[in-house]
Each structure stands twice: as C-alpha cells, then as structure tokens.
Amino acid sequence: MGSPCRAAGRRRRAGAAVPPCGARGYARLVGEIVVVRDGRGPEVLLVHGGAGPRTTWGALAPLADRWTLAYVHRRGYPPSSPPRHGQDFEVDALDLAPLLVGRPHVVAHSYGVLGALIAAAAAPSGSVRSLTLIEPPLTHLVPDDPEVAWLERTGDAVLTHGMDTDPVELRKFLRLAGAPVGGGPLPEDVAAGVRRAHGGRLPSEARPRLDSIRAAGVPVLVASGGHAAAMERICDALATALRGERSVHPGAGHFVAAAPGFAARLETFMRNPGRARATSDS
C-alpha cells in the first residue's frame, strides 16, 4: 500500500472515515478490504451497513482514547475495492473472517450485522470477545407481523429495483433507514447510496447460525433507536434468540451509535461482557 501516511491522505481525499495520520492511526489492506485503526487498547471491530464508516461510527471516535477502533470499509466503500457482483453478506463474512484472529469486540450495524453474524458463527470458539448488533434486517425472526413484512418487502424492492422503486415507498424506507430525505429530489449522496445498494444480495435471504453463536457463549448486546416498531420487534427477537442484553437509545434514528448514551452503554458492555448472561444463568 505504500506509506501509511500517504495512503491515509488518499483515503481522506476520497471521503473515507480515516483518522489523521499519526502515532495511533494507520490503515491496512486485508484481502479486498481496507481496515483503518485508531486508538489504543483492546480492539473494537466496527462493521458498517449501507452508510459508510464516517456516518455510522463518527460519534464513537472519543473511545479511541481507551480502545483500538478498527473501521472496516466494506467492498464498494472507498478505499476498499468495488464488489464484483453487488453487495453480498456472504462475501462480507469471508472478508471479516481473518479480522477475528485477534479476538476483537465486534460492533455491527444494519446490513453489516449479517456478515458479522455469519463470520462469528463460522469462527473457532473464542474468536469473538463480544458482539454488539444494531438494527439488523433479520426480518425472518418476526414472522406474520405486518410492519416487519413491509420492512422486508420494501427493503428487498430497493435492492432489486434501486431508483426505480415506487417513489413513495422508497422515500418511506429511506427515512426509516436514516437518510435525510425531504419533499424535493433526493440528495445526491442519498441517490448514490441507493445506486450502490442496487443489485445487492437481499437481506431476507440471510439465515445466520444464531444457534452456533449462542452455543459458543458469545456475549451479545442488541441495540436499537426506538424509532420504528418493526425494528424494535426484530431486535427483541434477536436478543432472545442469542440470550443477549438489550438496549434502546432514542435520538438518532437508525444511526443508533450517534444516540445519547449509546457510547457509554457500549463501553460498559465491552468492559463486562457476559455479566448479564452470567447473572441470569445463576
């Protein structure tokens, strides 16, 4: 990759979430994706979803004083290479697998949760120190719920049809997903995000091995933003399936990591992973 400082400079000019080049910040190419690390202390692997690392994780930057924040840039998000056949959670899982060797805490958001769960389930026991899962599109966990069914149907339509999705449904979905959508034309960065997602693998196809993660005893925190009833039900079901802790942080919509109190809750969980599980099992 050449000099880390020159590489970081190129990434900043490309709009990637890269910390200033210095003693703590550096980038590394791992297979087809770039991981940018910043901070000191135990590693926290941050896996974004449809939005990029800067939008998703910017509010967590102060944690770098106590933790090594490893910002994954999924395929298609500069400076990582484009995906060969659209976004795919199975490919994400393969990209994440070598990053679990160092036994990190894993924090994943939205579509990024799918690959993180698949990778964690396939990893040797003990590879993941903890899992924090934020608003994943695991709609199959809540069958026969009309609001969850709408979320699945519309999310699949956006990935299948892109900008040709029914305009009313598209805007409704984008607002739920945290995009700044008003009454006029879609902002260019929002439209670019829709085009990037177009043709991706449908999240409704994902069936991560939750039983394997539960059997391995991985400590889990499931977090949501309290802004959509369907998402709350999905997160409740996921926490139950994984015997995990559950927290709700209103104030930032789908981008829960930016909500008041989330960073503190995350840090408490990572310092004492499995505490709630141990208490409930005793």
72 vs 82, residue with greater confidence: 72
Stretch 136-161: mean pLDDT: 96
Residue 199 pLDDT level (bands cut at 50, 70, 90): confident
217-275 pLDDT, tens digit per residue, is 999 999 999 999 999 999 999 999 999 999 999 999 999 999 999 999 999 999 998 66
Which 3-state string (H, E, C) describes 222-270?
A: EEECCCCHHHHHHHHHHHHHCCCEEEECCCCCCCHHHCCCHHHHHHHHH
Please say whether the dihedral angle defined by the alpha carbons of residues 134, 135, 137 and 138, taken in this order, is positive or negative: positive
d(CA 137, CA 125): 25
Q: What is the pLDDT of residue 24?
A: 52
Distance in Å from the first CA to the final CA of the chain: 50
Point out the least confidently predicted range of 9-18, 179-188, 259-268. Answer: 9-18
Percent of the chain topping pLDDT 70 = 88
Q: What percent of the chain has pLDDT over 90?
A: 75
Q: pLDDT tens digits for 21-42?
A: 333 567 888 888 999 999 999 9
Q: State how far the Cα of 190 lies from the Cα of 194, in Å rounded to an integer.
A: 6
220 Cβ contact partners less than 8 Å away, ≥ 6 residues apart: 130, 131, 132, 133, 213, 239, 242, 243, 244, 245
When the pLDDT of each residue in the chain is averaged and rounded to a whole number, the result is 88
Torsion angle of C-alpha atoms 8, 13, 14, 19, degrees rounded to 10: 40
What is residue 55's predicted lDDT score, i.e. its pLDDT? 92
Q: Say which range, 86-100, 110-124, 177-191, 198-212, has the weakest mean pLDDT.
A: 177-191
Distance CA 117, CA 122 (A): 9
